[in-house]
Structure 1
């Protein structure tokens, strides 16, 4: 950064700090009026010094992410209403100045926050004059790391006339969105980009910020994130950007952020028009038009005043092939907080998936099996009823009568939904594979490695790996089990690493964002890697599989730590790049679930079986993984 930029950066950083202290950079979406507190901001702007002076929306928005008028009163700001949000905790409306300035960095639109329970009385097309206080609202609170939304709060609104056409939308397209995602944050401001002058022709985040609050449109676009329970979906305006084999947008490096992704919501009441149901690869025909918002759960979001229709591409759920004679099939599946109170339909669907889509694997490691009382926080830790209901559904679907092994956690010590006591569970088909029981395993006792008949063996099976290590605090401890297939021992370690909760969003005001959760997963990966190395020191020929929801990417430091010293290989890397994903988040198809192999397992067949993550109707938010090999 040049020295000429530093004084301005420091001044604006001080402005942000002052606004935070005064309550002008507000907290979560459930907060009251975000302008609460005394006024703060720079006093150098003549319009700010004189609230009666002529202030336009672009003066309020300014050329950085923080308004130069934050904390200041503004009066009689003119514009045309482009959209009204009459629901939720952030009610209000957007309006836009039809008389744009010549600076591409300054948005001509802005949100007017009318209150949590105050329904706006204006209509789209009203010409209005708005007076109020300029504020910066941070969805999720300042600690979230999210960027802020510039808005006018405590408004007084005068409708001058009605029936106007909204200002012509800016078309967001492959041509208009830069390929570079974001500028590097200023080290002097803790890595924040807030004070940097926007460069909308250079960076995608700057481009979107320069349109914050403005009327925008996307044309017919491919859907890269399925409709979720909150009536949202994701499209891409860049059809060829990191396209997956099935129509998604691959997230395959920290430098590949898929700049064409944009979240779509609707301002049309559900009673008037239900939000369309879409799967990945479908097409939003006719696109969408409306104000560009910024929210906690997706960043820049087109809040559609007009919305096209979904053209289905009839995406099918995949099925893996059955294991061949002499092949051992091992799978991992996160079944998303499964407990006996879930509808029978979910158990039946999961059972059908195990039989029909996963071809009844010999060993199935499950994640997120809850205790028998589910999220009820009553001290229950056993999960026999949950697993029994699942295995019965598999039999009903025509599958094998699986047996199972697991270890119940200490109450509320393994994270997840409070009271749910999620854990990993091994299912195995006793007609194909046997389990070597070595008693004594419990929630707090670590299994070790012994040498038996010249081969590595677990001292406890099932047993937990390194449970006293601080890496596993408030997190699921690995479950190790020893199996025998056709006379050959196989050790499987089932994992569910710490979640990404607490990480800053890709749209964070810090660039690159802070991935704070990675610290714990790194420690967890090193713990598992150390245990695998102990097995291999005992028997370098040992067949070891590390499976589960690793909650991290195949290119991450977590995966690097797991594979340290050549102890393990991430089998997902054997797939073509366009098929490497098990989860879709904010329109990014990415790897979270993995199976890693020890060096003795050289020849294998691997499949990421896409049956959930790309679909609006899901039985889990994860796709299962299957690996077949000959021990």
Structure 2
């Protein structure tokens, strides 16, 4: 996934952001009708009253949102019907601060709208709302309708029905089956007062005051208490996002494996950045699970240690250099070669044409030395200004650090932003035509994306080829809770082309020297089971070494409560064949609320 962006920070004052969304009007406004909430919600995802005016909709206020762009409140009918598919709750959008309180009995007249967080192009489901409301408070101090329990027993194991082919794969028109599908179950509770109890945290508290829990603690559990994402066809249904109606300062700083002890209760919302979300009126107490940052073992004298680490838009103005240095020295044990992703230019996001990153890299190396690590040297190629994607003006690129006391770099002149590296034969063995060099930079596969950086290294007299990658992000893909099922993964089209190009280059090396040691690594932005990685692996030219780990440890990133693999190290047959390698996903960031990057580094140790 892409690093969390400033665009999201600007947009997200609450979960649902009106300025970034669309309202779908399905019918023209008609005369006002007196209806109950379950009539409005209906038994599908969109209301049969969408676009119509309704009058005197009765309910008890269960939650009030007084901040952000989506101000309003939730009401619930305490007299439920007998249909489990029809929700008894609904959100009333007021735009200004509501003048109601939890426990008020109200009647609301207004227009029924289907609000799509993120806009219709996002593919998200719609949230049924009453807009342009007229509100009457009938009485106050009423008991809130009892919260519906969401737990492992009530939540189905199947995730979602397949979408209707006649509706381009949308599930909107399908009758909800809340006892069969998890997404249908959540939808049948949209806007209602719900509760979870003693839930384990599977996604750490983020800068937007939200976290993720699971109500199914045994579902694909990681060793640290997370929930591992291991297949497109086996979703983790127990995940649920938690936000709060309380003060930001009161929201807990939670890590993966912690517990929200006791009851967490409030209305069930649907938003752009997480789908179904419990917006807590009552928040459980944080019970820490004792998560500690991992430390890999030191490489042996005859082992070459190669690492990949996405340092998340690092530029000289950042305050994280000492922490990154400590991570490399102490947690990664000073690898011999480090492939860095998201190294920005010397003035970061200042968009003035600067492309050099020597100050960024020198500052990191100096911090590593100060932390007790080696005096690394570096190699990189400056990109064409604003041609490689990422934050505008930042000019992110991959770079190599290497410890000259342990490994040497074979410099071959001529590599620049637009010159393609090739493969030649020297004394019967493969060699690069330029080193460092970029793989096929004119290929449209790399349009507005980072070009791979190839380097030729020597360790104890043996050549090792290292290819640093940062593939196209998942931006633009539909979310797991989208109305289209299965959701579209449009971003992978470019990654497939990128994987094809890198595999073709590796094949050139191996065709020239069958037993060449090739390490292809970086932020692949796709899963170890994905088609992208299958293409990159090819016909055995490469193999993703994270698959040597137990399934419970195959992750480098946590997104929406799913512990998943984005960062990988792939190895050629000569490295894999003897099984004389060790792989470690070093969990120091992704599971922690105080992370310095959203990625965990990876380390490979082998004997060339």
Match of 1:89 in 2: 69
Match of 1:45 in 2: none
Match of 1:279 in 2: 255
**Whole-Å separation in 2 of the counterparts to 1:435 and 1:35:** 57
**Whole-Å separation in 2 of the counterparts to 1:572 and 1:243:** 17
Q: 2:303 aligns with which of 327, 330, 347?
A: 327
> Residue 163 of structure 2 aligns to a residue in which SS?
coil
Give how far 1:51 is off: 1.9
Asked if residue 103 in structure 1 is aligned to residue 83 in structure 2, the reply is: yes
Give how far 1:314 is off: 1.0
**Whole-Å separation in 2 of the counterparts to 1:60 and 1:40:** 13
Asked if residue 510 in structure 1 is aligned to residue 484 in structure 2, the reply is: yes
Match of 1:29 in 2: 17
> Residue 326 of structure 2 aligns to a residue in which SS?
helix
Q: 1:233 aligns with which of 211, 220, 227?
A: 211
> Residue 94 of structure 2 aligns to a residue in which SS?
strand
Spell out the pairing of 1:120-139 with structure 2 (5 A cutoff). Answer: 120-139=98-117
Are residues 152 and 222 of structure 1, via their aligned partners in 2, closer, same or farther at CA, if it must alter by over 3 Å?
A: same
Spell out the pairing of 1:103-182 with structure 2 (5 A cutoff). Answer: 103-115=83-95, 118-182=96-160
**Whole-Å separation in 2 of the counterparts to 1:216 and 1:302:** 7
Match of 2:55 in 1: 75
RCO (CA 8 Å, sep 6+): is it higher in 1 or 2? 2
Question: Any conservation in 2 of the 1:34–1:153 contact (CA below 8 Å)?
Answer: no
Asked if residue 588 in structure 1 is aligned to residue 566 in structure 2, the reply is: no
Give how far 1:32 is off: 9.0
Spell out the pairing of 1:372-391 with structure 2 (5 A cutoff). Answer: 372-391=346-365
Q: 1:612 aligns with which of 589, 594, 607?
A: 589
Match of 1:202 in 2: 180
Question: Any conservation in 2 of the 1:35–1:153 contact (CA below 8 Å)?
Answer: no
**Whole-Å separation in 2 of the counterparts to 1:274 and 1:296:** 23
Give how far 1:49 is off: 6.1
Give how far 1:308 is off: 1.1
**Whole-Å separation in 1 of the counterparts to 2:31 and 2:397:** 62
Give how far 1:357 is off: 0.2
**Whole-Å separation in 1 of the counterparts to 2:315 and 2:110:** 50
Q: Deviations over 1:519-556 (max 9, x none)?
A: 00000000000000010000001000000000000000
Question: Any conservation in 2 of the 1:28–1:141 contact (CA below 8 Å)?
Answer: no
Asked if residue 316 in structure 1 is aligned to residue 296 in structure 2, the reply is: no
**Whole-Å separation in 1 of the counterparts to 2:21 and 2:582:** 56
**Whole-Å separation in 2 of the counterparts to 1:310 and 1:236:** 14
**Whole-Å separation in 2 of the counterparts to 1:247 and 1:513:** 27
**Whole-Å separation in 2 of the counterparts to 1:256 and 1:269:** 36
Are residues 567 and 380 of structure 1, via their aligned partners in 2, closer, same or farther at CA, if it must alter by over 3 Å?
A: same
Question: Any conservation in 1 of the 2:334–2:373 contact (CA below 8 Å)?
Answer: yes
Q: 2:336 aligns with which of 359, 362, 366?
A: 362
Question: Any conservation in 2 of the 1:35–1:71 contact (CA below 8 Å)?
Answer: no
Asked if residue 41 in structure 1 is aligned to residue 27 in structure 2, the reply is: yes
**Whole-Å separation in 2 of the counterparts to 1:235 and 1:35:** 29
Are residues 34 and 506 of structure 1, via their aligned partners in 2, closer, same or farther at CA, if it must alter by over 3 Å?
A: closer
Give how far 1:287 is off: 3.2
**Whole-Å separation in 2 of the counterparts to 1:145 and 1:34:** 11
**Whole-Å separation in 1 of the counterparts to 2:76 and 2:106:** 10
**Whole-Å separation in 1 of the counterparts to 2:586 and 2:271:** 32
Match of 2:5 in 1: none
Match of 2:475 in 1: 501
Give how far 1:62 is off: 0.5
**Whole-Å separation in 1 of the counterparts to 2:85 and 2:538:** 46
Q: TM-score, normalised on structure 1? A: 0.92
Comparing 421-430 with 599-608, greater Cα deviation is found at: 599-608
Question: Any conservation in 2 of the 1:251–1:257 contact (CA below 8 Å)?
Answer: yes
Are residues 257 and 537 of structure 1, via their aligned partners in 2, closer, same or farther at CA, if it must alter by over 3 Å?
A: same
Q: Deviations over 1:423-443 (max 9, x none)?
A: 000000000000000000000
Question: Any conservation in 2 of the 1:34–1:135 contact (CA below 8 Å)?
Answer: no
Give how far 1:328 is off: 0.3
Aligned length: 591
**Whole-Å separation in 2 of the counterparts to 1:34 and 1:85:** 20
**Whole-Å separation in 1 of the counterparts to 2:605 and 2:54:** 67
Q: Which runs of 5+ in 1 are unaligned?
A: 1-26, 43-47
Spell out the pairing of 1:481-492 with structure 2 (5 A cutoff). Answer: 481-492=455-466
Are residues 450 and 172 of structure 1, via their aligned partners in 2, closer, same or farther at CA, if it must alter by over 3 Å?
A: same
Q: Deviations over 1:476-497 (max 9, x none)?
A: 0000000000000000000000
Match of 2:514 in 1: 540
Spell out the pairing of 1:375-414 with structure 2 (5 A cutoff). Answer: 375-414=349-388
Are residues 33 and 460 of structure 1, via their aligned partners in 2, closer, same or farther at CA, if it must alter by over 3 Å?
A: closer
**Whole-Å separation in 2 of the counterparts to 1:620 and 1:33:** 29
Asked if residue 263 in structure 1 is aligned to residue 212 in structure 2, the reply is: no
**Whole-Å separation in 1 of the counterparts to 2:19 and 2:44:** 24
> Residue 565 of structure 1 aligns to a residue in which SS?
coil
**Whole-Å separation in 2 of the counterparts to 1:570 and 1:251:** 16
Match of 1:291 in 2: 267
Q: TM-score, normalised on structure 2? A: 0.96
Q: 1:457 aligns with which of 414, 420, 431?
A: 431
Are residues 347 and 121 of structure 1, via their aligned partners in 2, closer, same or farther at CA, if it must alter by over 3 Å?
A: same
Asked if residue 62 in structure 1 is aligned to residue 42 in structure 2, the reply is: yes
Give how far 1:269 is off: 2.2
**Whole-Å separation in 2 of the counterparts to 1:81 and 1:550:** 47
Q: 1:214 aligns with which of 184, 192, 201?
A: 192
Q: Deviations over 1:4-27 (max 9, x none)?
A: xxxxxxxxxxxxxxxxxxxxxxx9
**Whole-Å separation in 2 of the counterparts to 1:607 and 1:280:** 19
Give how far 1:379 is off: 0.2
Q: Deviations over 1:444-502 (max 9, x none)?
A: 11000000111100001000001111000000000000000000000000000000000
Give how far 1:325 is off: 1.4
Give how far 1:205 is off: 0.3
**Whole-Å separation in 2 of the counterparts to 1:79 and 1:200:** 23
**Whole-Å separation in 2 of the counterparts to 1:453 and 1:545:** 22
